[in-house]
Amino acid sequence: MAKLGAFVAWYGHAWQTDAKLATSPEMKRSDGRPYHPGSIGRVRRQMAHRGWIVSRRIFAQQALPNGMRSSQGTTDKTIAWKVIGVRNPTTRGERRERRKEQRVELAPLPPRRVALEPSFVALVAGIGSMPVPASKSARPMRVDGSPNGRPSTPTSPTNAAPRRRVDAASS
Protein backbone atom coordinates (compact mmCIF):
# COMPACT_ATOMS: atom_id res chain seq x y z
CA MET A 1 0.00 0.00 0.00
CA ALA A 2 2.84 2.34 0.81
CA LYS A 3 4.37 2.02 -2.65
CA LEU A 4 1.09 2.74 -4.41
CA GLY A 5 0.40 5.66 -2.08
CA ALA A 6 3.87 7.07 -2.72
CA PHE A 7 3.43 6.68 -6.47
CA VAL A 8 0.06 8.46 -6.43
CA ALA A 9 1.43 11.22 -4.18
CA TRP A 10 4.44 11.66 -6.46
CA TYR A 11 2.34 12.38 -9.54
CA GLY A 12 -0.65 14.05 -7.90
CA HIS A 13 -3.04 12.57 -10.47
CA ALA A 14 -1.87 9.05 -11.27
CA TRP A 15 -4.06 7.85 -14.14
CA GLN A 16 -1.95 4.94 -15.32
CA THR A 17 -3.73 1.61 -15.55
CA ASP A 18 -2.98 -1.13 -13.04
CA ALA A 19 -1.07 -3.06 -15.72
CA LYS A 20 1.05 0.03 -16.49
CA LEU A 21 1.75 0.52 -12.78
CA ALA A 22 2.87 -3.11 -12.54
CA THR A 23 5.55 -2.53 -15.18
CA SER A 24 6.75 0.78 -13.73
CA PRO A 25 10.20 0.65 -12.08
CA GLU A 26 8.89 2.42 -8.95
CA MET A 27 6.40 -0.37 -8.25
CA LYS A 28 8.75 -3.38 -7.96
CA ARG A 29 8.57 -5.90 -5.13
CA SER A 30 11.46 -6.29 -2.70
CA ASP A 31 12.83 -9.19 -4.77
CA GLY A 32 12.75 -7.07 -7.96
CA ARG A 33 9.77 -8.75 -9.60
CA PRO A 34 6.73 -6.71 -10.68
CA TYR A 35 3.48 -6.81 -8.75
CA HIS A 36 0.51 -8.51 -10.41
CA PRO A 37 -1.97 -5.94 -11.83
CA GLY A 38 -4.76 -7.61 -9.88
CA SER A 39 -2.98 -7.09 -6.57
CA ILE A 40 -2.36 -3.43 -7.45
CA GLY A 41 -6.07 -3.05 -8.20
CA ARG A 42 -7.00 -4.73 -4.91
CA VAL A 43 -4.75 -2.37 -2.93
CA ARG A 44 -6.12 0.64 -4.85
CA ARG A 45 -9.70 -0.38 -4.02
CA GLN A 46 -8.80 -0.94 -0.34
CA MET A 47 -7.17 2.48 -0.08
CA ALA A 48 -10.18 4.10 -1.78
CA HIS A 49 -12.57 2.26 0.56
CA ARG A 50 -10.62 3.52 3.59
CA GLY A 51 -10.74 7.06 2.19
CA TRP A 52 -6.98 7.51 1.77
CA ILE A 53 -7.16 8.02 -2.00
CA VAL A 54 -9.85 9.11 -4.42
CA SER A 55 -10.16 6.65 -7.28
CA ARG A 56 -12.35 8.00 -10.11
CA ARG A 57 -13.16 5.87 -13.16
CA ILE A 58 -12.37 7.43 -16.54
CA PHE A 59 -14.12 5.67 -19.39
CA ALA A 60 -12.86 5.38 -22.94
CA GLN A 61 -12.79 8.69 -24.86
CA GLN A 62 -13.18 10.74 -21.67
CA ALA A 63 -10.65 13.45 -20.87
CA LEU A 64 -7.77 12.70 -18.52
CA PRO A 65 -6.65 15.33 -15.98
CA ASN A 66 -3.90 16.41 -18.39
CA GLY A 67 -6.47 17.17 -21.13
CA MET A 68 -5.73 14.18 -23.37
CA ARG A 69 -8.31 11.48 -24.10
CA SER A 70 -8.16 7.96 -22.74
CA SER A 71 -8.32 5.38 -25.51
CA GLN A 72 -9.21 2.39 -23.32
CA GLY A 73 -10.29 3.85 -20.00
CA THR A 74 -8.43 4.00 -16.69
CA THR A 75 -8.78 5.27 -13.12
CA ASP A 76 -7.59 8.64 -11.88
CA LYS A 77 -6.03 8.21 -8.46
CA THR A 78 -5.33 11.15 -6.12
CA ILE A 79 -4.39 11.32 -2.46
CA ALA A 80 -7.17 12.67 -0.20
CA TRP A 81 -4.91 15.08 1.70
CA LYS A 82 -7.74 16.72 3.66
CA VAL A 83 -9.10 13.37 4.85
CA ILE A 84 -5.65 12.30 6.01
CA GLY A 85 -5.13 15.68 7.67
CA VAL A 86 -1.78 16.40 6.03
CA ARG A 87 -0.78 19.17 3.66
CA ASN A 88 0.47 18.09 0.23
CA PRO A 89 4.28 18.16 0.52
CA THR A 90 4.95 18.77 -3.17
CA THR A 91 4.88 22.33 -4.46
CA ARG A 92 2.87 23.46 -7.47
CA GLY A 93 6.04 23.61 -9.57
CA GLU A 94 6.96 20.04 -8.67
CA ARG A 95 3.46 18.83 -9.52
CA ARG A 96 3.66 20.65 -12.85
CA GLU A 97 6.94 18.85 -13.63
CA ARG A 98 5.38 15.47 -12.76
CA ARG A 99 2.48 16.18 -15.12
CA LYS A 100 4.99 16.99 -17.87
CA GLU A 101 6.68 13.65 -17.23
CA GLN A 102 3.33 11.90 -17.63
CA ARG A 103 2.67 13.73 -20.92
CA VAL A 104 6.05 12.63 -22.26
CA GLU A 105 5.13 9.03 -21.44
CA LEU A 106 2.00 9.36 -23.60
CA ALA A 107 3.58 11.26 -26.50
CA PRO A 108 3.04 9.40 -29.78
CA LEU A 109 6.10 7.85 -31.33
CA PRO A 110 7.37 9.45 -34.52
CA PRO A 111 6.79 7.42 -37.69
CA ARG A 112 9.75 5.22 -38.55
CA ARG A 113 10.95 4.30 -41.99
CA VAL A 114 11.62 0.60 -42.36
CA ALA A 115 13.21 -1.09 -45.35
CA LEU A 116 10.89 -3.74 -46.80
CA GLU A 117 11.78 -6.68 -48.97
CA PRO A 118 10.70 -6.26 -52.62
CA SER A 119 8.91 -9.63 -52.56
CA PHE A 120 6.75 -8.45 -49.64
CA VAL A 121 5.98 -5.15 -51.39
CA ALA A 122 4.94 -7.05 -54.55
CA LEU A 123 2.74 -9.36 -52.48
CA VAL A 124 0.96 -6.49 -50.72
CA ALA A 125 0.73 -4.22 -53.78
CA GLY A 126 -2.54 -5.72 -55.05
CA ILE A 127 -4.38 -5.57 -51.74
CA GLY A 128 -7.15 -3.00 -51.75
CA SER A 129 -7.21 -2.46 -55.52
CA MET A 130 -10.38 -2.96 -57.51
CA PRO A 131 -10.79 -6.46 -58.94
CA VAL A 132 -10.49 -6.74 -62.70
CA PRO A 133 -13.24 -8.91 -64.25
CA ALA A 134 -12.00 -11.75 -66.40
CA SER A 135 -13.15 -11.89 -70.02
CA LYS A 136 -15.81 -14.46 -70.93
CA SER A 137 -13.38 -16.55 -72.93
CA ALA A 138 -10.89 -16.64 -70.06
CA ARG A 139 -13.41 -18.08 -67.61
CA PRO A 140 -12.90 -21.79 -66.99
CA MET A 141 -15.58 -24.24 -68.07
CA ARG A 142 -17.06 -26.72 -65.63
CA VAL A 143 -16.27 -30.39 -65.91
CA ASP A 144 -19.78 -31.21 -67.15
CA GLY A 145 -19.43 -28.61 -69.92
CA SER A 146 -21.95 -26.06 -68.71
CA PRO A 147 -20.68 -22.49 -69.21
CA ASN A 148 -22.81 -20.75 -66.58
CA GLY A 149 -21.80 -22.82 -63.58
CA ARG A 150 -25.10 -24.70 -63.31
CA PRO A 151 -25.06 -28.37 -64.17
CA SER A 152 -27.45 -29.45 -66.86
CA THR A 153 -29.39 -32.24 -65.16
CA PRO A 154 -32.62 -33.82 -66.26
CA THR A 155 -34.23 -32.73 -62.98
CA SER A 156 -33.83 -29.06 -63.72
CA PRO A 157 -37.11 -27.39 -64.84
CA THR A 158 -35.79 -26.42 -68.28
CA ASN A 159 -34.86 -29.97 -69.32
CA ALA A 160 -37.59 -31.91 -67.55
CA ALA A 161 -40.26 -33.73 -69.53
CA PRO A 162 -43.69 -32.18 -69.32
CA ARG A 163 -45.74 -33.61 -66.49
CA ARG A 164 -49.13 -35.08 -67.08
CA ARG A 165 -51.99 -33.77 -65.06
CA VAL A 166 -53.81 -36.33 -63.04
CA ASP A 167 -57.41 -35.54 -62.27
CA ALA A 168 -59.19 -37.09 -59.34
CA ALA A 169 -62.19 -37.90 -61.56
CA SER A 170 -60.22 -39.92 -64.14
CA SER A 171 -58.70 -42.33 -61.63
SS3 assignment, position 10: helix
Q: What is the pTM of this model?
A: 0.48
Q: What is the CATH number of domain 2-106?
A: 1.10.10
User: What is the Cα–Cα distance from 26 to 34, expressed in whole angstroms?
Assistant: 10
User: What is the Cα–Cα distance from 137 to 66, expressed in whole angstroms?
Assistant: 64
Q: Where are the domains of the chain?
A: 2-106
pLDDT in tens, the chain (171 residues): 777 777 777 777 777 888 888 888 878 888 888 888 888 888 888 888 888 888 888 888 888 777 778 788 888 888 888 888 888 777 888 878 877 777 766 556 667 776 777 777 777 776 766 666 656 665 566 666 555 555 555 555 555 556 666 666 555
User: What is the Cα–Cα distance from 60 to 70, expressed in whole angstroms?
Assistant: 5
Q: What is the dihedral of CA 31, 36, 39, 41, to 10 degrees?
A: 130
